[in-house]
Structure 1
Amino acid sequence: MALTDEAIAKIRGLIQSGELPPGTRLPPEQQLAAQMGLSRSGVREAVKVLESARVLDVRRGDGTYVTSLAPRLLLEGLGLAVELLRDDTLLEVMEVRRLLEPVATGLAALSISDEQLDELGRILDEMRSAADDAEQLIRFDTTFHHTVITATGNETLTSLLAGLSGRTVRARVWRGLIEGNAAHKTIDEHQAIYLALRSRDQLLAQASALLHVNTSEAWLRAVLSSSATAPGE
């Protein structure tokens, strides 16, 4: 394991130094191992780890390449990790969202395009039509917030928030909202965010998003609490 860690560190160093920039093909395994003074097995395992982390792209019959290193690739694993978190940790994720999402929504108010605003309007119409369909609401909710955060133009922030806003959390919140006859209220919160963005009001957009995240967090707490006290649990 120590040899693999050393190989990972050395390959990462080559990438960070610019010797292996994005899109570059790595030397053959034997040559790379000799270059780094390590065993081929250590290099092979390191490549597997870095492939899983989307740092390297192994193309069978062609070679191994450094990926684009785009945030959407490197942060992709975050979403998979969030889906595996336990209930108490999901609430910590919501706390992180509360710190980031309102500020990001405020930034979006300054840069969102007319086309993106029109798209949000269409999504809102679809949400209202599907107010009792949890699966549809999860999909529209995901698209709504992705469109908002994408408008910031910050790919790292977009990828980070996408990872923190996993399907599991959204599903629990929306099913709780429907069961509590509160879905329409939450859709109204989306409407408030949309109107603030439409008016290009940064502070109002940030406040509207904060209210929305707080509501989602409260419902998640209620759903988790109900699950914990349910008979047979």
Structure 2
Amino acid sequence: MALTDEAIAKIRSLIQSGELPPGARLPPEPQLAAQMGLSRSGVREAVKVLESARVLDVRRGDGTYVTSLAPRLLLEGLGVAVELLRDDTLLEVMEVRRLLEPMATGLAAVRMREEDLDALGKILEDMRAARDDAELLIRYDTAFHRTVIAATGNETLTSLLEGLSSRTIRARVWRGLIEGNASHLTLAEHEAIYNALCARDQLLAQSTALLHVNTSEVWLRTVLAHSSEPDNG
């Protein structure tokens, strides 16, 4: 592992220095190993690790290339990690969302294009029509927030929030809301966010998003508390 870690560090250094920029082809394995003064097996394992992390793209029969290093690629694994988190840690994820999502929504209020607002209005209509269908609501809720955050034009922020807003969290919240006959409240919060965005009111958009994330967090706490109660039946 020490040799693999060293190889990873050296390849990363070549990328960070610009010697291997995005899209560049790595030297053949024997040449790269000799260049770094490491064994071929260490380099081979390092390439595998960096391929999994979306830093390298191994093309069989062609060679190994540095990827675009775009945030959507490098942060792709965040969503997978969030899906594996335990209940108490999911609440920490909601806390991070509460810090980031309202600010992103406020930013979207001043950057959103008219066509994005039109698309958002249609998604909101679909959400109203699906108010009692958890699976559809999860899909439309994801599309709603993805449209808002993407309007910031900040790919790193979009990728982070995409990873943090896992389907597991959405499913638990929406099913809890439907079972508690409170889905209409959250739909009203989506409408408030939409209206604030249409008004290009940055502070109001930020505030309505904060209220919405807070509501989702409260319901997630409720659902998790119920799921942890012993079954006395």
What range is the shorter-chain TM-score in?
A: over 0.9
Q: Does 1:225 align with 2:220?
A: no
For 2:146 and 2:116, locate their aligned partners in 1 and report how far apart those are by CA, in whole Å: 11
Q: Could you give the per-residue CA deviations for residues 115-162 of structure 1, whole angstroms, max 9, x where no partner exists?
A: 000000000000011111111000100010010000101000000000
Alignment of 1:38-57 (within 5 A): 38-57=38-57
CA distance in 2, matches of 1:161, 1:27: 36
The aligned counterpart of 2:113 is: 113
Amino acid at match of 2:105: T
- Change beyond 3 A, Cα 1:25–1:232: farther
What RMSD, in angstroms, separates the aligned Cα atoms of the two structures? 1.0
1:164 lines up with 2:159 in the alignment:
no
- How far has the Cα of 1:184 moved from its partner? 1.2
Q: What residue number does 2:216 align with?
A: 216
The aligned residue for residue 59 of structure 1 is: 59
Q: What per-residue deviation string (whole Å, max 9, x for no partner) do you get for residues 186-220 of structure 1?
A: 01100000000000000000000000000000000
In 2, the alpha carbon distance for the partners of 1:162 and 1:14 equals 29
Matched residue of 1:153: which SS? coil
Q: Tell me the equivalent position of 1:93.
A: 93
Counterpart mapping for 1:1-233 below 5 A: 1-231=1-231
Secondary structure of 2:148's counterpart equals helix
CA distance in 2, matches of 1:137, 1:23: 39
- Please state how far the C-alpha of 1:167 moved relative to its aligned partner: 0.4
In 2, the alpha carbon distance for the partners of 1:58 and 1:171 equals 35
Structure 1 portions without partners, runs of 5+: none
State the alpha-carbon separation in 2 of the partners of residues 60 and 3 from structure 1.
24
Q: 1:207 to 1:14 in 2, by over 3 A?
A: same
Deviation of 1:78 (Å):
0.4
* 1:230 shift after superposition: 4.2
> Structure 1: which amino acid aligns with 2:178?
I
CA 88–67 in structure 1, closer or farther in 2 if over 3 Å, else same: same
- Which whole-Å CA distance do the structure 2 matches of 1:90 and 1:176 have between them? 15
How far off its partner does 1:232 sit? 6.9
Measure, in 2, the Cα distance between the counterparts of 1:135 and 1:50. Answer: 35
3-state SS of 2:65 partner? strand
Aligned equivalents of 1:123, 1:181: Cα separation in 2: 21
Deviations 1:45-70 (A, max 9, x none): 00000000000000111111000000
Aligned-partner residue type, residue 142 of structure 1? T
What is the Cα deviation at residue 23 of structure 1? 0.4
Secondary structure at the counterpart of residue 229 of structure 1: coil
Identity of aligned residues (%): 81
Q: How many residue pairs get matched?
A: 233
Q: Which amino acid in 1 is paired with 2:225?
A: S
**Deviation (angstroms), 1:185:** 1.0
Paired with 1:230 and 1:82, the residues of 2 have a C-alpha distance of 26
Taking the aligned partners of 1:133 and 1:230, their CA distance within structure 2 comes to 28
C-alpha separation in 1, matches of 2:83 and 2:223: 16
User: Which AA in structure 1 matches 2:106?
Assistant: G
3-state secondary structure, aligned to 1:65: strand
The normalised TM-score by structure 2 is: 0.99
SS at match of 1:81: helix
Distance 2:156 2:5 in 1: 26
